[in-house]
Chain A
Amino acid sequence: GENVEQHPSTLSVQEGDSAVIKCTYSDSASNYFPWYKQELGKRPQLIIDIRSNVGEKKDQRIAVTLNKTAKHFSLHITETQPEDSAVYFCAASWDTDKLIFGTGTRLQVFP
């Protein structure tokens, strides 16, 4: 069935370093891949998304890459800052109206 796997579950980096979070999906019909950031005690909020007709998308320090052949997509955060510390969720949509979320990655950025 529909499934999204996310790795790693926790990630610690030094301020200024890069962070990479990876997700794989099960169904090749997936066509929409958003990333959400959830700060402690807050709601998930969209930070970037990519559609299946695009291989890469950037927004300042954040970028997402998509490899449809391998069925995986990744979030890249460069020049990390303490305020990047949060839980990040990837998700995928299978030509339907709903999203299937990954299990989340807790990112800690140490000053």
Chain B
Amino acid sequence: DAGVIQSPRHEVTEMGQEVTLRCKPISGHDYLFWYRQTMMRGLELLIYFNNNVPIDDSGMPEDRFSAKMPNASFSTLKIQPSEPRDSAVYFCASSFWTGGLYNEQFFGPGTRLTVL
């Protein structure tokens, strides 16, 4: 398996533009997580899905952020309109449950977003 795939790897945009980040989880994984990493705030969980259904979006900072998972192999995180304070590395991660036990989250390579 290629692991978790994210695109683009780097994104530079101007304030006010729409940004869409993409993620393909590991095949067979039923959980997908979106994180944001900054020096100031560390690694923050934004939202996560189980079997394509959003379970907890309490970490989404504002209404400008939205996430979807239309099928088991694809998810998007959208920021509209983008602001300079959204500049960060955005990670997608996936995992699966077996027998009620928590399992490792596998992270993608991340998308480095810069909003000018």
- Which residues of A are interface residues toward B (Cβ below 8 A)? 31-32, 34, 42-46, 49, 51, 89, 93, 96-104
> A103, B42: Cβ atoms under 8 Å?
yes
> B42, A49: Cβ atoms under 8 Å?
no
- Inside 8 A of A46's CB, which chain B residues have their CB? 104-105
> A32, B102: Cβ atoms under 8 Å?
yes
- Inside 8 A of A98's CB, which chain B residues have their CB? 33, 45, 48, 56
> B43, A43: Cβ atoms under 8 Å?
no
Main secondary structure of the interface of B (DSSP, over half): strand
- Which residues of B are interface residues toward A (Cβ below 8 A)? 31, 33, 42-43, 45, 48, 50, 55-56, 91, 97, 101-102, 104-105, 107-110
- Measured in the bound complex, the distance between the Cα atoms of B102 and A32 in whole Å is 7
Q: Identify 7 new A-B residue pairs, CB closer than 8 A, beyond the known A32-B102, A42-B109, A99-B45.
A: A43-B91, A43-B107, A43-B108, A43-B110, A46-B104, A96-B56, A104-B42
> A97, B31: Cβ atoms under 8 Å?
yes
- Measured in the bound complex, the distance between the Cα atoms of B42 and A104 in whole Å is 7
> B42, A44: Cβ atoms under 8 Å?
no
> B107, A45: Cβ atoms under 8 Å?
yes
The verdict on A97 contacting B42 (CB below 8 Å), with A43-B108, A46-B104 known, is no
- Measured in the bound complex, the distance between the Cα atoms of B50 and A57 in whole Å is 29
Name the contact of A44 in the complex, choosing from B43, B55, B56 (C-beta under 8 A).
B43
- Inside 8 A of A49's CB, which chain B residues have their CB? 104
- Inside 8 A of B42's CB, which chain A residues have their CB? 89, 101-104
> A97, B43: Cβ atoms under 8 Å?
no
- Measured in the bound complex, the distance between the Cα atoms of B112 and A42 in whole Å is 11
> B109, A43: Cβ atoms under 8 Å?
yes
